């Protein structure tokens, strides 16, 4: 038996089963050393939104990433959007009060929009 064959084939499995190539349409990943350089951090008086944006950028920079990189920014926005979906679901099930839901949603909106304040 080859490594591609199932040890316990189901009723629909057989020699004509389609094979899905997971790497066919994937873009090649850049090595961390090839990532966009992190922009200089702002100085002087900052708004709360700018402070949050700078804090997030420092966190990502610690992983050799930058939220000014389009792919990283998109992944961040998708992730925060899915967290909001989880919070909405918890509220819908009654696990979060209306007040808690409003507070968490406002916080998530703030961290989602913080990246708009990056240089």
The DSSP letter of residue 117 is: G
Any idea which residue has 């004509």 for tokens? 16
The answer to whether residue 13 sits within a structural domain is no
Spatial CB neighbours of 115, under 8 Å, sequence gap ≥ 6: 53, 56, 67, 73, 76, 77
Q: Residue 5's pLDDT is what?
A: 52
The answer to whether residue 7 sits within a structural domain is no
Query: pTM (2 decimals)?
Result: 0.64
The answer to whether residue 10 sits within a structural domain is no
The answer to whether residue 78 sits within a structural domain is yes
- Domain of 58, in residue numbers: 32-117
The answer to whether residue 42 sits within a structural domain is yes
What band does 46 get if pLDDT is binned at 50, 70 and 90? confident
Q: What does the CA dihedral 103, 108, 113, 115 come to, rounded to 10 degrees? A: 140
Q: Are 64 and 32 a contacting pair, CB within 8 Å?
A: yes
Q: How many domains does the chain have?
A: 1
């Amino acid at each position: 038996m080859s490594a591609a064959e199932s040890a316990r084939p189901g009723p629909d499995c057989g020699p004509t089963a389609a094979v899905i190539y997971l790497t066919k349409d994937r873009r090649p990943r850049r090595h961390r050393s090839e990532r966009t350089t992190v922009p200089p951090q702002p100085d002087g008086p900052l708004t709360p939104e700018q402070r949050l944006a700078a804090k997030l950028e420092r966190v990502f920079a610690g992983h050799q990433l930058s939220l000014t990189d389009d792919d990283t920014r998109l992944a961040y926005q998708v992730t925060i959007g899915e967290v909001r979906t989880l919070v909405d679901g918890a509220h819908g099930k009654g696990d979060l009060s209306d007040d808690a839901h409003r507070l968490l949603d406002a916080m998530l909106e703030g961290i989602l929009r913080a990246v708009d304040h990056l240089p």
